[in-house]
């Protein structure tokens, strides 16, 4: 996530969409993208629920240059308008109901200037690997550590689960999500008054295909 080849293409695209305007990051976290975007001269305002993550952002060089509002990014309002709002690295799935995800699109649209864009980076649900009768898909196995996703295809609820064993002691973490399809996101955008402008497989604008495991989508406010 923090490697230059992951960060720089994302910042390139976001800076292009921001133009001479301001950027709003929903789920700003520790500033992985907000800080390099601010160094490009783009004013960035972030929203995040975690005070601890924002404290880490503030401790980094340039952290004071990013304005941050503490709150739920699905509903929190901040002053002013923006030419781009963005939500990256599957963070839309941290909103675990469809209503909350719809609220997030409406909130982003409400902050955008006419012609402004909302950008979301998120994975494509990996249900092609899920045979009938199975609910779990492993995505990591190693010496002393395992990780797997659990899906409920009736509700689109899922969780990512991590098991670690070291020194004879075990640790288990489970993180809840709600997976969401590209077409469903397009409908959420329509409900918020936006239209799909572009969809790529990644930040370097590779074509999105039926084999893509993620997408970067851009919706525009008329």
Predicted local distance difference test score (pLDDT) of residue 158: 97
Give the strand order in the sheet containing 214-220: 67-70, 44-48, 23-26, 82-87, 112-123, 214-220, 195-200
| Cβ neighbours for 195, distance < 8 A, ≥ 6 positions apart | 189, 219, 220, 222
Predicted local distance difference test score (pLDDT) of residue 146: 97
Q: How many CB atoms lie within 10 A of CB 17?
A: 22
Q: What's the Cα-to-Cα distance from 52 to each of 25, 44, 47, 59, rounded to whole Å?
A: 17, 19, 13, 11
The dihedral built from the CA positions of residue 127, 212, 33 and 88, taken in this order, carries a sign that is negative
The dihedral built from the CA positions of residue 8, 12, 14 and 19, taken in this order, carries a sign that is positive
- Where the chain has pLDDT below 50, the residues are none
pLDDT in tens, 14-55: 999 999 999 999 999 999 999 999 999 999 999 999 999 999
Q: How many CB atoms lie within 10 A of CB 154?
A: 6
- pTM (2 decimals)? 0.95
Predicted local distance difference test score (pLDDT) of residue 1: 84
């Amino acid at each position: 996530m923090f490697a230059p080849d992951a960060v720089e293409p994302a910042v390139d695209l976001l800076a292009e969409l921001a133009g001479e305007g301001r950027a709003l990051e929903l789920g700003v976290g520790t500033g992985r993208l907000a800080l390099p975007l601010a160094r490009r001269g783009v004013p960035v305002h972030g929203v995040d629920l975690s005070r601890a993550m924002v404290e880490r952002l503030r401790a980094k060089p340039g952290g004071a240059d990013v304005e941050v509002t503490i709150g739920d990014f699905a509903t929190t309002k901040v002053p002013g308008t923006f030419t781009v709002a963005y939500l990256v690295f599957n963070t839309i799935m941290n909103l675990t109901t469809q209503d909350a995800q719809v609220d997030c699109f409406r909130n982003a649209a409400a902050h955008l200037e006419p012609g402004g864009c909302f950008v979301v980076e998120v994975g494509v649900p990996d249900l092609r690997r899920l045979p009938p009768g199975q609910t779990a898909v492993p995505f990591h196995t190693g010496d002393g550590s395992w990780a797997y996703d659990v899906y409920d295809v009736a509700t689109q609820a899922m969780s990512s689960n991590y098991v670690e064993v070291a020194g004879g002691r075990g640790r288990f973490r489970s993180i809840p999500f709600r997976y969401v399809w590209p077409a469903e996101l397009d409908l959420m955008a329509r409900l918020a008054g936006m239209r799909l402008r572009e969809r790529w497989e990644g930040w370097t604008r590779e074509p999105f295909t039926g084999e893509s495991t993620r997408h970067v989508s851009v919706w525009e406010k008329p």
